Amino acid sequence: MNLADSVVQAARGWIGTPYRHQASLKGVACDCLGLLRGVWRDCLGPEPEAAPPYAASWAESAASGTDPLAEAAARHLVPVAVGEDYEPAPGDVLLFAFRAHLPARHCAIATGMGSMIHAHDGAAVAEVALTGWWRRHLAHAFRFPETAERRTERP
């Protein structure tokens, strides 16, 4: 199985996990970043860096001109150009900004055929359509690094 398929399979294993800010424990609780961190652990092993504590409104208070989520993603994932003709590939990590002047504050994993898996406040992890609304707010896309050492055993 290639890495993109492993990422999608791992993300689907989180479906139904309840939302909880800053959590990252499959079947117990996670937020959108916790989902991404958990999929990294499922597919690639230990996380490359610890996530710092963050407030639910962290993006609104980010220093002007910074995009902490995108900057962290760029340290460990492979950037993909997001243009008008960009179609998310299975396993792509999608970052969303809800206002043009604010940094990205939500992430999801593309599953192909116009859908994604994400965790959001008040709901469990779900696979949903990547609708026009989501596409309009897509700010960045990344791929998991093929060169990273992959886990051989499943947890």
Query: pLDDT truncated to tens, each residue of the chain (155 aa)?
Result: 899 999 999 999 999 999 999 999 999 999 999 999 999 999 999 999 988 877 776 555 555 678 889 999 999 999 999 988 899 999 999 999 988 778 889 999 999 989 999 999 889 999 999 999 999 999 999 999 985 555 544 44
Q: Which domains does the chain have, with CATH numbers?
A: 3-143 (3.90.1720.10)
What is the sign, positive or negative, of the torsion defined by CA atoms of 114, 140, 80, 107? negative
For residue 146, the SS3 value is coil
What is the sign, positive or negative, of the torsion defined by CA atoms of 83, 87, 93, 94? positive
Tokens 């998991």, located at residue: 144
Note the pLDDT of residue 152: 45
Structure tokens at 85: 């003709």
**If you write DSSP's letter for every residue of 29-84 in order, what string do you get?**
EE-HHHHHHHHHHHHHSS-SSPPPP--TTGGGGSPTT--HHHHHHHHHSEEE---T
Note the pLDDT of residue 52: 82
Note the pLDDT of residue 155: 43
Structure tokens at 27: 């079947």
pTM, rounded to two decimals: 0.90
Q: What stretch of H or E contains 139?
A: strand 138-143
Note the pLDDT of residue 59: 57
**Cα–Cα distance, 67 to 83 (Å, whole number):** 19
